[in-house]
Structure 1
Amino acid sequence: MKVYIETYGCALNKGDSYIMMTLLKESGHEIVENYSQADAIILNTCAVRLETEERMKQRIKELRKIGKKLVIAGCLVSSEPALVMNLAPESSLVGAQSVDKIVEAVESPTRRIFLEDSKELITPRVFEGKISIIPIADGCAGDCNFCITKLARKKLRSYPPRSIVNAVKEAITNGAVEIELTAQDTAAYGLDINYSLPELIKDVLEIEGNYMIRIGMMTPELAMKEIDDIIEIMKDRRVYKFLHLPVQSGDDRVLKLMNRKYTVDEYKQLIKEIRNKIPLVNITTDIIIGHPGEDEEAFNNTLGLIKELKFERIHLAMYSIRPNTKSALMPQVPDPVKKERMRIANKVYEDVAYSVHSEYIGSNSLVITTEYGKKGSIIGRTINYIPVIVKDYNKLGDWINVKITEASFFDLRGQLIQ
């Protein structure tokens, strides 16, 4: 069969789609780039936010109208199966932790529903371009009150180190230059198999080759427990000086309501220690604006943290109620207040990030080219994972010297140094 896969959500969801591609190809099916070419369509869904859920519901309705076999997979299926069944009663369903069943779902002439945990954890053996996304764990060890993904991926399951290393070897052999080790929380890796993230990365770094490792998102409380080993690993030239550490709020009372397991001061100390030992490090974070319990003082504390820690990148999100979560039962911040705070926070973030990036103007930087950009440009990454747009170069997978000429809050622009 010819199968089209449409993916929404985080890097872990993308990794799941590559696992599906791997299993389908090994079973003799062909992956196509357009649903018009396909015999079957897979929609790999996300449910992290209300507007994302609405987009998924709309997309399910649109794809049903095409009249082809439809398989709905991913986090919306696991977190709200009844909703998906009502929207598409004839479609097969594959839960976020059931991707090993994708071939059965595609091949079955009748509707099938797979919501149980996979018996086997499978690493992807296909990737696109120069970037390979490799899941290292599924589920997390936390229990945040706002999170619906915890309901979709209930159980922490770490992939065996050997299967991850083999997947990385294969990706590098096939030309990947960036390896994204991804999970809901990479710092939770190995808690269930008596292993750790630093041990895993050491195993991966034994592989020879011209590649860079990007460590995926990690919760601050678990990162704190092994930060010395993480810092030591980041000193390797093949590891991006980049850490994604979501703080979520700059206010201790709100963090407690979120059921986050650290204080603002503990988070600040963590960032200070990392920056002292890895001066180039790029700290990226996530912040939720308007979580229940966020008053003006709490909001201003969050703005103060953004200004103080000068994050290179922030994923800002306005809080939205997610079903069956504890935060949904709390007194809510009114929508107009959330929207205005979001506007203010975005402006503060853009000013801070532009200020940080402006310091690069006039400097020379070594970047590795990983993606094609718009209008014939190419996107490279600095050693600390800041994107650089280069117009006068068109080859992927190369280290090139670039003079930084412009900056925005989001990226840098540069010219090739011959």
Structure 2
Amino acid sequence: MKNIYVETYGCALNRADTYVMMTLLKSEGYNFVENPENADIIILNTCAVRLETEERMKQRIKELNTLSKKLVVAGCMSSAEPATVLSIAPNASLIGPQSVERIVDIVKSEERKIVIEGDRALITPRTFDGKIAIIPVADGCAGNCSFCITKLARRKLRSYPLREIVNAARDAIQSGAREIELTGQDTAAYGLDLGGSISLVDVVNKVADIDGDFMIRIGMMTPEQAMRIMDDLIEAIRNPKVYKFIHLPVQSGDDRVLKLMNRKYTVDEYKELISEIRHKIPFVNITTDIIVGHPGEDEEAFNNTLLLMKELRFERIHLAMYSIRPNTRSASMPQVPDSIKKKRIQIANKLYEDLALSIHLDYVGSTSRVITTELGRKGSVIGRLMNYIPVVIRSENVELGKWYDVKITEASFYDLRGILA
């Protein structure tokens, strides 16, 4: 049977797509190799969320295409910008992120195939790396943000059957997974395409009911969809098997910019949501995303974003400098000059690092219960607090998938460091 090399970029949902493809290909007897030169077939799962990411994808497609292997380009770039991909690799096959269930057909075909639209039953992955199993709950979203190219790649909201999600989680736990990451473009939108009779809360509760020692991490959700289910979701997050972690991208601290972005909430509504969560879930980790330099962001709007960062003191912020994405509404708006965007992102990054470090320093000297899930650098092991803040453990004889009492000895803006207590 032929050898396949897979390379993945982008978000957790992209990685879940890779695991779906690997699950299907393994069932057909294909082997997987770690070097593209040893492969008969190369699958590149791409991301196109930002301009710099797209440029990296272009370069990687060009490099892999020179190996003269069968090349399959998957992921968001294949769906949102197929002409760009084919201009670099004219003989490549393309498979969109909502078509990954057809990967076997693509791989087996002797001819170039292009499959962008999804038309088959959703399949959950049955493979994972280490101790973390990524399981998609929904593909696509219910929104239509002005800046987002992902909407062009994942056009339809498709919720996975609840039974399939639970079975995938159960199989992963029985195979040794200690963290179940429920992922999606907007996890809180789960079930809207199923008539609204079922929601993310049902998914979390059903997975938490599975026997075993594991933790559930809930993936990113939009504020407007989170507001719809938040009372019940808060109760679900209080379950001991669920990380006290919520990823709620705010994107801007200015109402006028939020309107230009086509976000469906105001700054005050977002603040009220965060206040409710923190009041009802002590120790909760609120992570957010912020875009700096979106069209329409003047100095006042940027300062409003800085004020929001200071007021809400997010545990983690994914900061990004706005970049034009083709065929999006934001691309046609008057743009903020690059020189101004670069200055603003530096200011925002410095503020974020200062805020995050001050939050993490409060943990130094404390002893916390930590579950180990990943290997770190130089022989270290990475564990997670109950609120998902990472802890780098350098003590010897630390195993993956175990609970440890760890004394926190150091802190950076990004993580904590500790030794076994």
Q: Which TM-score applies when normalising by structure 2?
A: 0.98
Aligned equivalents of 2:167, 2:394: Cα separation in 1: 35
Matches within 5 A, 1:19-418: 19-193=20-194, 194-393=197-396, 394-417=398-421
Structure 2 counterpart SS, 1:375? helix
Q: Which of 44-53 and 81-90 deviates more?
A: 81-90
Paired residue type of 1:187: A
The match for 1:2 is 3
Aligned equivalents of 2:225, 2:115: Cα separation in 1: 32
Shift of residue 118 of structure 1? Answer: 3.3
Aligned equivalents of 1:264, 1:273: Cα separation in 2: 14
Shift of residue 35 of structure 1? Answer: 1.1
Paired residue type of 1:416: L
Paired residue type of 1:261: K
Q: Which of 75-84 and 280-289 deviates more?
A: 75-84
Shift of residue 361 of structure 1? Answer: 0.5
Paired residue type of 1:265: D
* Structure 1 unmatched runs, 5+: none
Aligned equivalents of 1:165, 1:11: Cα separation in 2: 18
Structure 2 counterpart SS, 1:260? coil
Shift of residue 226 of structure 1? Answer: 0.9
Aligned equivalents of 1:34, 1:180: Cα separation in 2: 27
Paired residue type of 1:79: A
Aligned equivalents of 2:420, 2:37: Cα separation in 1: 40
Aligned equivalents of 2:15, 2:253: Cα separation in 1: 30
Shift of residue 199 of structure 1? Answer: 1.1
Aligned equivalents of 2:258, 2:170: Cα separation in 1: 40
Aligned equivalents of 1:205, 1:130: Cα separation in 2: 17
Aligned equivalents of 2:298, 2:290: Cα separation in 1: 15
Aligned equivalents of 1:49, 1:118: Cα separation in 2: 28
Count of matched residue pairs: 417
Structure 1 counterpart SS, 2:85? helix
Shift of residue 204 of structure 1? Answer: 1.1
Question: Could you tell me whether the CA contact under 8 Å between 1:220 and 1:246 is conserved in 2?
Answer: yes
Aligned equivalents of 2:38, 2:401: Cα separation in 1: 31
Structure 2 counterpart SS, 1:322? coil
Shift of residue 103 of structure 1? Answer: 1.0
Paired residue type of 2:59: Q
Aligned equivalents of 1:259, 1:116: Cα separation in 2: 25
Paired residue type of 2:211: E
Paired residue type of 2:58: K
Shift of residue 101 of structure 1? Answer: 1.3
Shift of residue 42 of structure 1? Answer: 0.2
Question: Could you tell me whether the CA contact under 8 Å between 1:99 and 1:118 is conserved in 2?
Answer: no
Q: Which of 316-325 and 26-35 deviates more?
A: 26-35
Q: Which of 38-47 and 104-113 deviates more?
A: 104-113
Question: Could you tell me whether the CA contact under 8 Å between 1:22 and 1:125 is conserved in 2?
Answer: yes
Aligned equivalents of 2:79, 2:378: Cα separation in 1: 39
- Output one character per residue of 1:55-82: Cα deviation in whole Å (capped at 9) or x when no partner: 0000000001111111000100110111
Q: Which TM-score applies when normalising by structure 1?
A: 0.99
Structure 1 counterpart SS, 2:180? strand
Question: Could you tell me whether the CA contact under 8 Å between 1:91 and 1:111 is conserved in 2?
Answer: yes
* Structure 2 unmatched runs, 5+: none
Question: Could you tell me whether the CA contact under 8 Å between 1:354 and 1:408 is conserved in 2?
Answer: yes
How well do the aligned residues superpose, as a CA RMSD in angstroms?
0.7
Structure 1 counterpart SS, 2:118? coil
Paired residue type of 2:405: N
Aligned equivalents of 1:73, 1:367: Cα separation in 2: 36
Aligned equivalents of 1:171, 1:284: Cα separation in 2: 26
Aligned equivalents of 1:360, 1:351: Cα separation in 2: 15
Paired residue type of 1:127: F
Question: Could you tell me whether the CA contact under 8 Å between 1:140 and 1:156 is conserved in 2?
Answer: yes
Aligned equivalents of 1:116, 1:321: Cα separation in 2: 24
Shift of residue 273 of structure 1? Answer: 0.4
